[in-house]
Each structure stands twice: as structure tokens, then as C-alpha cells.
Structure 1
């Protein structure tokens, strides 16, 4: 790796390499040596920028979780426009058609990482999935305020059903998962939103 590369560029190269490994081979294949080899850099580069491999993994998860904030703002901006299901569908497609499922598998796979993330986040729950539930809950609350979601609807439970069921549909790396545009995902969304959306 050339010297003089900005720290953020190095971090992004390493994070992108880790994501490729996760998607291709799963969390068991993710090692510091595999990440640096995938990134095409010297073995010591990762340890130059991170205290240890668990610190690297924690930063990867925190970085990818922080990206949900942009999506959350975009989703909130759609409140009152289009349809509720139509606004939620791209969010679910993004969550389950991306590296997010692989990152959740990584967090489940590594106990020490889960403990470290709990300390960093100051909250329980699985990173990404917990934040996704909160993002959808806030959106549904905004739609509730606009009268497009039933006033008595438990929006947090609905958001949890959407995220939990979506994760179950896509989490099995060895089975054939439904494509994000599949009728199965549409049926799941329709069931979760039935009686909730006006």
C-alpha cells in the first residue's frame, strides 16, 4: 500500500475487503490476514490503524451502522408521500440485499465482538437490526401523526416484525433465499402492515 494514503482511505479499503470476504465465504473466513490480502496491502497495515482485529471488526460494524442515519433521514422525508409499503420496500431491499445480513451473522458468530459492540453502543440488541427497527418505528410514527397509520398501532412491534421476518428470509447463506423483489417479500410486508396502514 502506498505511503501517504489518508487514514479514511485505508479504513475504507480494509472495510470493503472485509465485506467482500463476508459475502463470499462467511464470518468464519474473516481473519486479519484474509482482510489485508483481499485489500492488497501489507499484513501490518490493519494493526497500524486498529488496536487489534476485534477493534477493526467493531469499527466496521459501527461504521456500517452509522450509515443507516442517512437512510433514516431519507425515509422520514418520505412520510406523507407515496404509499407506506412503497416507502418501506427500498429500505428492506437495502438491508437484506446488502452486506447487512452478513454483518449480523458476524456479530452473532463472535461473542467478544458482540460484547465490545454492546459497550461501544451502550445498548443491547444486534447492531444494524436494532437500528433498522428504530428507523422504521420513527417513520411509522411520522405516518401515524399524518393519519396514514392507525392511531393505536404498535409501530415498534410492526417494525420488529418487518426486520425480524426479513432477516429470517435472507439469513440462511446455504439455502435459496427469496430475491429482494420477490412476491414472498411483498406478502410478508402485506401481512405485517395489515390493519396498520390506512
Structure 2
């Protein structure tokens, strides 16, 4: 990786941390510059504006991480009910990437930016659809294998799972980890009935 690429990546990583804690709209370019200690010229060399940097966060940080944490666990799943539960459990309990006080970075951006930027909405919808499609594919495969009931609609289950995750991440901000524990208990019961 060249020095220029390292600088760009560094700006994205530090911006991600700031935006995760403060929100996209509350984080200014000056905040990013103060945190990264890069010059304003260096910032604008890599990004023409804050929106381009924000879209870089989605495409270069959120998308690959979402793919690794939310899609890969479901690829070629032999037991989607168990794999979905384990994935959700890891997402909610792994504190190395997420902080209960700040919720989920992708959900936060969806809530904050979808109504105010069609560009953000389009890019964030790609993240959601990637996860949605992975869940649907795993459930369709499980139906074909007789592992889940044929009278369930995988698309509906995927929406239920994703909205439940988004909701509990938001509730966790005010209720703490107890919300995660209750959600995981209910999720396990729900999945076993599929």
C-alpha cells in the first residue's frame, strides 16, 4: 500500500470512529482534520468533500466488514437457524467492533442519512440488500433441504431479522446489553419455530 493509500485509509478509519461516536452530520471536516492531524489539503486531496468521504466509509469499510460478519457466516450454511443465531449473537456480543452505547454504524447511518441524501440511501440500501439476500438464500436452501418449514416466506423472515437487529441496536443505546440478551432469547425461540 502506497503512502497516499495509507493516508486515505487512515482518514477513513479515524473518520469512521468519529462518526460512529458523534454521527455523520455532527462530525465536521475540521473535527476529522483535528483527529487525524492531516492537513486540510491532504483531506481534500483524497476526498472532494465530506460526502465523498462518507461514501468511502460505506464502500471501503462498512461493506467489507458487513460482508465478513453478516454474509459469509451464511454462505453454504448447512444449518441456517443455528448460523443466523450465532451470527446475531456475535454481532451483539463482540465488543471489538461495536459499542452498545453507539449502536451499529450502518444502522446509525441509515437512520441519520437515508432521509436527507439519496446517494447515501442508495449506497446504504446496497448493504441491507446484501445481508437480506444472504439470509433469503440460506433460508431457501434450508427449505429445499427440509430443514425449515416450506410455508414460511424467506423474504419476510429476512426483513424480520434485519429489522429486529436494527431495533435492538437502537434499544441497546438506552437499555444497555440487557436488550441484547432479551432479543437473543426471543430470536432463538423464533428461529426454532421456522
- Which is worse superposed, 133-142 or 165-174? 165-174
Show the counterpart of 2:17: 20
Write the deviation string for residues 11-48 of structure 1: whole angstroms up to 9, x where unpaired: 32122112211333333432222223222322222211
Task: List aligned pairs for 1:1-40, cutoff 5 A.
Answer: 5-7=3-5, 9-40=6-37
Q: Which residue of 2 aligns with 1:150?
A: 149
Structure 1: runs of 5+ lacking an equivalent = none
The offset of 1:70, in angstroms, is 3.9
> Could you list the runs of 5+ residues in structure 2 that have no partner in the other structure?
none
Q: Which moved more, 1:49-58 or 1:13-22?
A: 13-22
1:53 maps to which of 39, 50, 54: 50
Aligned-partner Cα distance in 1 for 2:173–2:18 = 16
Shift of 1:189: 1.2
Aligned-partner Cα distance in 1 for 2:59–2:131? 13
Aligned to 2:166: 167
Q: TM-score of the superposition, structure 1-length normalised?
A: 0.75
Instruction: State the shift of 1:165 in Å.
Output: 1.1
Q: Is the 8 A contact 2:24 2:112 kept in 1?
A: yes
Matched, 1:187 2:185: yes
String of CA shifts for 1:133-174, please: whole Å, max 9, x gaps: 222222222222222121222111111111101211112475
* Greater helix content: 2
Residues paired across the two proteins, number: 184
Query: Equivalent residue for 1:136?
Result: 135
Backbone CA RMSD of aligned residues: 2.9
Of 112, 136, 149, which residue of structure 2 is paired with 1:109? 112
Q: 1:88 to 1:11 in 2, by over 3 A?
A: farther
